[in-house]
Chains A and B, each alone.
Chain A
């Protein structure tokens, strides 16, 4: 099969992307187009005591200047977090009110207080500067630990002590007891640094209100337009669902940051109704740094205990998660059910306890970012394993092997039930490809060149396709996490697949079509994938958490089952054969073992002419499915990073990076490799370069690429990739997911390699040259006491 499952098909969508023919939200221009510019708080925390709009209103081109009192006055609802977490004392989480435009108080630099609608974007921006907002400054806090401290500035009246929830999982007493009896305990403070998502395409919205039909259309940069419509309708009261169409056209990257519904989209919809104009807003890069939901920002203390044989007896973790100024849509689930449930890693650990406190600070809201909770868990567990091995004088690979889970299904003490995997096999493949055996030689050779060479492992496991709906519902999720599909075979035999998944870089138009081509033996170019428009596609759940393969394609597969059944019925009737004897092969529908057959398109035509169908059969050939998985899927792998550190400058060069992944079935190896490359690059970015910094007053110091270090091509090596496939037993295609693995597995491998090189384990991300140099100064060239 040159186009089906397993084929390295070039991405069909790339033709329009690389020739500049993509159609993004900002490319959409309506008749009567007006532009929005937001008036944003320059203060991290302040009371809004007055807004003077007169100067702005008088400016050329200005259509309207609107504020939060008008917005709430029109009944627009507060922005919500859709996953209810219950604290360990049984109390509900403390969600503070978040209005799309602030009314009386601002809580982070960039918080929107008003919006200007004008004929041109430049006029809107100029007028936004002329809106005079009177603030009464309040003390601010940006660090989560400080926010919990006595006397810290308070952000929301209903969240005393800035505490959103204090949650736990696992058995504390049993874990304490296990640790008390351990032969060796390794303890590490772990900081998971805050990062900015930096999608290539900034967020954008075009809102169109049709007064005659009382109907709204929103074009927006969304990873899940259906959920956006639901939330805009059910919670923000913009319009009832049948009067609101949401379209997410081509979207240039999301990494999680485009899952959420932000103040700007809501405001544009409302402003379009207010002004009778179509309203467009496109984020500047500065606004993106200031307002796109950030990722990570955990501070943890972790202890892991081992018996004399090196078997893990217990793991105890205390985590503080910085949520920023407001609770973003999925924020609450990230440091709980997407994080603490993965703390067992690839290891058989009987006792785990994790406590998580979620905290408000005067920073931009934090939510899921490529990996969402799993990178934080993996980083913590894998730093602990490597450090423990060093402390105990054990080989880090051997210590892991001693503790690997080898039998499936495996129930961890933290909810997850691993369905499949081959952790030894992953590590074998990675170690062979990375030539671990030759490392000592390479280290010596590097030393002769004055370089410190180190090697670090990371054996990650993660959970994709968050599900099933009943289970997530019982844990507090406000939505179900299934996916929908509709497969339409046209009268001429071409096929349209309508999916609730959304592609914003993943290559669905190619991989999804490959699966369909594979099933029906039709050419790839006779299949098209339709997504991202609530007027075209049935309700769906969108793309995040590496769910499009495991959940989205499973739904398509189920719909194809139904199509296949009908096709066989039609062919059996036409060819006067038994249904069971019909096979679909190479674009033909045949009676097995005979030369009787119909071309694929003849079946399509027969279905739609209806001239000769089996009695009682409805005409047409179109089937739908809603697929709700029975479990998460569990991609896992072994990553090995080798670095050389320059002791003179502290610069780390990644000289070798090996990834052996188990993603289950692979549909398009080229696209999967691209996902691993991108994910690992993002992980390297977090490990070496990326860091959001606020000063104590709450000003964002990393507000542009002058100060926020993104990885560039030369920061990343040529990767060595291996696959070790165990098929997922729980979905029709055996898929596990590959979209986030790299970003999850890479950071600990990089940091473990650097700490190996410099001989000091107490390193926090990002491992900047200055930080590493200073540690080398301390460990390698002690300054003689006077």
Chain B
């Protein structure tokens, strides 16, 4: 790792100020993505601004029909929260399937959503559930937030404070883990929401997480696993790598969608 300066501000304002004044600052949450890249010398921020000491950055609460999760809340906290399990059990289940125990006890929802890895799990839930990303300066709707792999609507020195998830009627997540990394080779999050059937796919597309219109249309008419079978899943724009080619990923989108819908009960 290259030498770097570590800061742990107590307020959002100090964190933003710290970021702005640093030569090349980076926010640090659980460090489960950032630190490995720094150790490999692929990133070399001059300053690390740890957001975990900021008051109110972590924690889970329910506000009416909305589940609110602080950005610095760990995957293990989400997985183990009775509030999450009651409001959106699929989200707790998704969190429990991220990485391994060590990763889940360090990694955070805010870090995952800020990073927007095309094979990460959370982005699919955020998009399918129509969550709102609340930052230090504004609220961003999920559909405006994700802008391609590793790309988001976040501006320079913008910090995610919390995520607001409207409770769906029902939701389920089915993940096919990459045999090596256990990230999603394909993950499909299906939600039955006030806005209709929402299906978000992660792991598959070269443009990162996306909503599958064909699957949504089919499920809007008939919310059943069988409805999935008739949908054409195009592999265009899907990733091909040593683990899976685009066609196999397209197959997995169908199979995972089917399994997620079947799991809705």
Q: Do A and B bind each other?
A: yes
A residues with a Cβ closer than 8 A to B are 122, 126, 129, 286, 648-649, 688-689, 693, 701-702, 705-710, 768-770, 773-774
A649 contacts B242, CB within 8 Å? no
Task: Write the residues of chain B forming the contact surface with A, with a CB cutoff of 8 angstroms.
Answer: 1-2, 40-41, 176, 179-181, 183, 242-245, 248, 251-252, 255
**Given known contacts A649-B252, A773-B251, A774-B248, is B179 in contact with A768 (CB within 8 Å)?**
yes
- CB contacts (< 8 Å) of A709 on chain B: these are 179-180
Contact assessment for B180 and A701 in the assembled complex, using a CB-CB cutoff below 8 Å: no
Residues on A with beta carbons closer than 8 Å to the beta carbon of B1: 122
Q: Which residue of B lies closest to A129 (CB)?
A: B41
A-B contact pairs, 29 of them (CB 8 A): A122-B1, A126-B2, A129-B41, A286-B40, A648-B251, A648-B255, A649-B176, A649-B251, A649-B255, A689-B179, A693-B242, A701-B242, A705-B180, A706-B183, A707-B180, A707-B242, A707-B243, A708-B180, A709-B179, A709-B180, A768-B179, A768-B243, A769-B176, A770-B244, A770-B245, A770-B248, A773-B248, A773-B251, A774-B248
Query: CA–CA, A709 to B181, complex, Å?
Result: 7
Partner of B180, one of A126, A649, A706, A770: A706
Per the bound structure, the CA–CA distance linking A680 and B41 in Å amounts to 37
- Do residues B243 and A770 form an inter-chain contact, with CB atoms below 8 A? yes
Q: How far is the CB of B62 from chain A (nearest CB, A)?
A: 33
Residue of A nearest to B39 (CB): A284
Contacts of A708 in B (CB 8 A): 180
Instruction: Give the Cβ gap from A53 to chain B, nearest Cβ, in Å.
Output: 19
Set of chain A residues within 8 Å of B248, measured between Cβ atoms: 769-770, 773-774
Determine the chain A residues whose CB is within 8 A of the CB of B180 once the complex forms: 689, 702, 705-710
Closest chain B CB from A395 CB (angstroms): 33
Which secondary structure dominates where chain A touches chain B?
A: loop
A709 and B243 alpha carbons, distance in the complex (Å):
10
User: A769 — which chain B residues lie within 8 A by C-beta?
Assistant: 176, 179, 248
Q: Which of chain A's residues has its CB closest to B183's CB?
A: A706
Q: A688-B179, A705-B181 are in contact. List 4 more A-B contacts (CB 8 A).
A: A286-B40, A649-B255, A689-B180, A770-B248
**Cα distance, A269 to B1, chains bound together (Å):** 26
A residues near B251, Cβ cutoff 8 Å: 648-649, 773
Q: Across the interface, which residues of A come within 8 angstroms of B2, CB to CB?
A: 126
Write out the residue numbers on chain B whose beta carbons fall within 8 Å of the beta carbon of A693.
Answer: 242
Give the docked Cα–Cα distance between A382 and B5 (Å).
59
Residue of B nearest to A777 (CB): B251
Which residues from B are CB-within-8-Å of A649?
Answer: 176, 251-252, 255
A528 to B179: give the CA distance in the assembly, Å. 43
Give the distance to chain B from A634, nearest Cβ to Cβ, in Å.
35
Most chain B CB within a 10 A radius of its CB, from A286, A688, A701, A709: A709
Compute how far the CA of A215 lies from the CA of B34 in the bound complex, rounded to whole angstroms.
Answer: 45
A709–B255 alpha-carbon span in the complex (Å): 22
A707 with B176, Cβ < 8 A, contacts A701-B242, A773-B251 known = no
User: Which residues of B have CB within 8 Å of A702?
Assistant: 180, 242
Give the interface centre of B40, B183, B248, B252 by most chain A CB atoms within 10 Å: B248
Chain B residues in 8 Å Cβ range of A122: 1
A688, A708, A710, A769 pick with most chain B CB within 10 angstroms: A769
Complex interface: chain B residues within 8 A of A688 (CB): 179
CB distance from A340 to the nearest CB of B (A): 31
A-B residue pairs, 8 tightest by C-beta: A709-B180, A709-B179, A770-B248, A706-B181, A648-B255, A770-B244, A693-B242, A707-B180
CB distance from B99 to the nearest CB of A (A): 11
Chain A residues near B245 (CB-CB < 8 A): 770
The closest CB in chain A to the CB of B100 belongs to A712
What is the CB-to-nearest-CB distance from A644 to chain B, in angstroms, rounded to a whole number?
A: 16
Min distance, Cβ B17 to any Cβ of chain A, angstroms = 29
Neighbouring A residues of B244 by C-beta, 8 Å:
770
Nearest residue (CB) in B for A706 is B181
Complex CA gap A708/B101 in Å reads: 20
Chain B residues with Cβ below 8 Å from A701 are 242
Contact A707 B40 (CB under 8 A): no
What separation, in Å, do the CA atoms of A768 and B242 have in the docked complex?
Answer: 11
Give Cα A649 to B248, complex, Å. Answer: 9
Nearest CB of A to B183, in Å: 8
Residues of B within 8 A of A286 (CB): 40
The residue among B41, B244, B251 with the most chain A CB atoms within 10 A of its own CB is B251
Shortest beta-carbon distance, A652 to chain B, in Å? Answer: 11
Contacts of A648 in B (CB 8 A): 251, 255
How far is the CB of A61 from the nearest CB of chain B, in Å?
Answer: 12
Q: In whole angstroms, what is the CA distance A126 to B183 when docked?
A: 31
B181 partner, pick from A126, A707, A768, beta carbons under 8 A: A707
The CA-CA distance from A401 to B120 in the complex, in Å, is 51
Residues of A within 8 Å of B242, CB to CB, are: 693, 701-702, 707
> Among A688, A706, A710, which residue has the most Cβ atoms of chain B within 10 A?
A706
Which residue from chain A places its CB closest to the CB of B258 in the assembled complex?
Answer: A648
Q: How far is the CB of A709 from chain B (nearest CB, A)?
A: 4
CB distance from B107 to the nearest CB of A (A): 15
Among B1, B2, B176, B179, chain A packs the most CB atoms within 10 A around the CB of: B179
CA gap between A705 and B252 in the complex, in Å: 22
A650 nearest CB across to chain B (Å): 8
